[in-house]
Amino acid sequence: MRSLIIGAAGFVGGYLIRELSAAGQEVHATHLPNETVNVPCSTHVLDIMVQDDITALLKEVEPDVIYHLAAQSSVAVSWKKPQLTAQVNVIGAINVFEGIRASGLDKVRTVVIGSGEQYGFIRPDTCPLDEDEPLHPGNIYAATKACQESIGMIYSRSYGMDMIFVRAFNHSGPGQSDMFVISDFCRQIADIEAGNRENVMRVGNLSAKRDFTDVRDVVRAYRLLGGSGKKGKVYNVGRGKAVPISYILETAVSMAKTDIRVETDPAKMRASDIPIIEPDVSEIFNDAGWEARITLEQTIADTLGYWRDKV
Ligand code: A2R
């Protein structure tokens, strides 16, 4: 089995390369010219804004499964750079879909990575959210991912393309950028322990409830969906148990080796924040036998360990 990961230089890409390689697959991975892929596999430079390059690469590699990960993946950045976010996440995705058609690989399974953020402004009583729940994106990143999915769905239905649509809920683990909450808290703790800053944690909205899964579980879900997901179907990928951000904070602070004070930082508050996002994950369990295995506490401990080594 030969897999191609488009956009593999990011946080998830390295883990997905390891997961697919460990399962005995031949892995090809793309990265932007200014990026590197640090996990052994066949690498290719690719900017998804250039559709002809996508077509040429697909003809060269002839993968059995394509994973489309390339994205502007940060909600926070999407508020500051809405045009860039839409260009990469929507036009870039269309370029990938068109590239697949143009290369004659339209029957090749493509796993399109979207986000749990797509559900957006939901009523708390609709949680856990199943895949039929209407989407009301609450931020620009989420809107672009919803758009990627609805356009992908049109390609799948109109051209018979073998596409799987993932709505991945929050995932975290060692190596994630500190723009994301678990990594942010763990980095601040590691910095405080190392004496690089005063004993104060700066935090945003602590009451929002989110569903966190370890990245190592998430890439296992992607591999399984690449094999046994059903054509044209949408799958939530998450733990199925949302927790308040305050729980993450308390858990992380309880692992600190020093006393820490907590202060609210207005700069970490979002222009619009949704009180709870929690998925129903029965579809992926039923079709692919997947459920999260790694505890949230383990993910926090491992992420803290990563930052302790790094700072
Ligand atoms: O933005 P950069 O320089 O970090 O590069 C990101 C890359 N990327 C692109 N690749 C090809 N052509 C482009 N025009 C382009 N623009 C950005 O996609 C980065 O290396 C990769 C995405 O990795 P991360 O931002 O670290 O996201 P992560 O956590 O690996 O998530 C993977 C997927 C994304 O679709 C997320 O929206 C979803 O999972 O949660």
Task: Give all domains of the chain, ordered by start, each with its CATH number.
Answer: 2-172+212-240+282-288 (3.40.50.720), 181-209+242-277+294-310 (3.90.25.10)
- Can you tell me the mean pLDDT for 59-66? 98
Segment 62-66 shows an average pLDDT of: 98
Ligand 1 neighbour 13 (Cβ under 6 A):
yes
pLDDT tier for residue 124 given thresholds of 50, 70 and 90 = confident
pLDDT at 270: 65
Closest to 103 measured CA to CA, from 56, 61, 161, 154: 56
Q: Please answer whether residues 238 and 197 qualify as being in contact, where contact means their C-beta atoms are separated by less than 8 angstroms.
A: no
- Tell me if 113 CB under 6 Å of ligand 1: yes
Q: Is the pLDDT of residue 272 over 60?
A: no
Distance 70 CA to ligand 1 centre (A): 4
Atom of ligand 1 nearest to the CA of 48: 12
Report which ligand 1 atom has the smallest distance to the Cα of 87: 14
The answer to whether the pTM exceeds 0.85 is: yes
Q: Measured in angstroms, how far is the CA atom of residue 239 from the centroid of ligand 1?
A: 22
| Percent of the chain predicted with pLDDT > 70 | 98
Quick one: pLDDT at residue 168? 98
**Cα–Cα dist 16/27, whole Å:** 9
Instruction: Give pLDDT, residue 275.
Output: 84
- Centre of ligand 1 from the C-alpha of residue 9, in Å: 7
**Does ligand 1 have an atom closer than 6 angstroms to the CB of 96?**
no
Instruction: Label residue 258 by pLDDT band (50, 70, 90).
Output: very high
Q: State yes or no: pLDDT of 31 exceeds 70.
A: yes
Residue 273 has pLDDT above 70, yes or no: no
DSSP SS3 for 7: coil
